[in-house]
Structure 1
């Protein structure tokens, strides 16, 4: 068991400052199952990843759960068995269909986990490009996705950004609560490091746009508030609400998928 000592400087009016020691128990919690699965509207090898959480002093080591039974059914009566391609990675080559609800059923280490997600109607990604912004008198180039949000329906989107082939470790998520039916320009602000000044001429970049259901939006939005770069940076860290039963962490998403590539001029 490890203990962390926090020294607090306590100052009260008319009294001399003093140091107080507070002892906090930081014993590692029991490992939890983490399931990350997607069904997309392309004929590809769909993937469900099953791992375990680790203690705070074991960051980066995520044990894979092998020997699980993984299947997906849909609201049309189809059944899909997922096989273990490599430790903790379960796959099935299939195509998801919008408007259909998919239900995942996982039995791992003697426990059963389930989740459902309905694939939204597709929204076309019209184009991607670069937007120039001025920050304190300096120009900054930012990748952006352009599309029209459909009116009279609720939509939510999750974006992935790659710059020069490297995944930008940021969470980009939007919904149309305030923009329903509008022409949208979603900027994906990105910094490779603290001294980065944005995209540069000659950089290549790719944007992936996923149409997601409301539960998955809530999951990604909660994570975005905890990554230290969102609008609410003071949010207390906690596990985002999962749509998976029986206490598993992670998510199961049936979503549309589009990808475009471009080069910064």
Structure 2
């Protein structure tokens, strides 16, 4: 009898411990407007409008072409002028990239971004209206110097970049940074936005992580710069809404596929039910050539 029980009990425990298969019937949601709008000091406003896609959509050139919103009326104001942006089309990698920026045929109302100014965005697309506001703040974070060091124990000419910067006294400064390697575009790193809660009013040194193109697979070889690279640094002060958007977006990006991560709602500053953001950038640039 004891022998029978010793076999039966583990069997019962195994049966009770089996996981029950759970299936979810995911309803298809209606596509929503996705706004990526920026304005930078010395630069014209730039707006890209797309439609959200199903989580299970298979990305293709045709799908990308269909996702761009055509024929929208897009207006940007600096409080003195309101300019209607013009739609432009550029062929890129098998699909047509559509964006809205200053209309060169209407120079009387066109403008570029300026420090310490507020801007508003208004979009009329497919029978709906959307709006947002942003600020290009002052450049309160000063880049004092850039330098490099060899990566310890590296056998592949890898180097690390460091920056010494000074933060203006007074809480509430937010930044986002990007890097460029040689002739590539400027890309943000995994974590690109920071506040000044810890470093307020101080001069500090920190390693600069290389940015990367999030539309491609991350390559470990791009985690370091190398001897012979020309490195560009773009450091931009941003307002709180832009900081909150990228803070929550990057947390979501880093937690994709992690079953133990906490879901986070991406904070948008676009009213009217659209996704995305309208952000102002007070940008400054530095360049360093790493000798071979």
* TM-score scaled by length of structure 1: 0.81
- 1:101 and 2:118 aligned: yes
Q: Does the 8 A contact of 1:38 with 1:254 survive in 2?
A: yes
Please, what is the CA RMSD of the aligned residues? 3.0
Match of 1:81 in 2: 84
Q: Does the 8 A contact of 1:51 with 1:88 survive in 2?
A: no
Match of 1:148 in 2: 166
Q: Which has the higher helix share?
A: 2
User: Deviations along 1:140-183, whole A, 9 cap, x unmatched?
Assistant: 63333432111125211001122243455634111101111111
**Shift in Å, 1:225:** 1.6
2-side partners of 1:85 and 1:226: how far apart? Answer: 31
**Which of the residues 229, 248, 254 maps onto 2:274?**
248
* TM-score scaled by length of structure 2: 0.74
User: Deviations along 1:186-220, whole A, 9 cap, x unmatched?
Assistant: 42334852466622212232221111001111111
**Shift in Å, 1:185:** 2.9
Q: How many residue pairs align between the two structures?
A: 250
- 1:182 and 2:202 aligned: yes
**Structure of larger gyration radius:** 2
Matches within 5 A, 1:1-265: 14-16=13-15, 17-42=17-42, 44-58=43-57, 60=59, 61-62=63-64, 63-75=67-79, 77-86=80-89, 88-92=98-102, 94-123=111-140, 124-131=142-149, 141-167=159-185, 168=187, 170=189, 171-190=191-210, 193-194=219-220, 198-228=224-254, 234-265=260-291
Match of 1:5 in 2: none
2-side partners of 1:234 and 1:179: how far apart? Answer: 31
Q: Does the 8 A contact of 1:34 with 1:250 survive in 2?
A: yes
For structure 2, which runs of at least 5 residues remain unmatched after alignment?
1-9, 90-96, 103-109, 213-217
Match of 2:4 in 1: none
- Residues 154 and 238 (structure 1), Cα distance of their counterparts in 2 relative to 1, 3 Å cut: closer
**Shift in Å, 1:71:** 0.8
The answer to which of 140-149 and 241-250 deviates more is 140-149
Q: Which has the higher strand share?
A: 1
Q: Does the 8 A contact of 1:172 with 1:188 survive in 2?
A: no
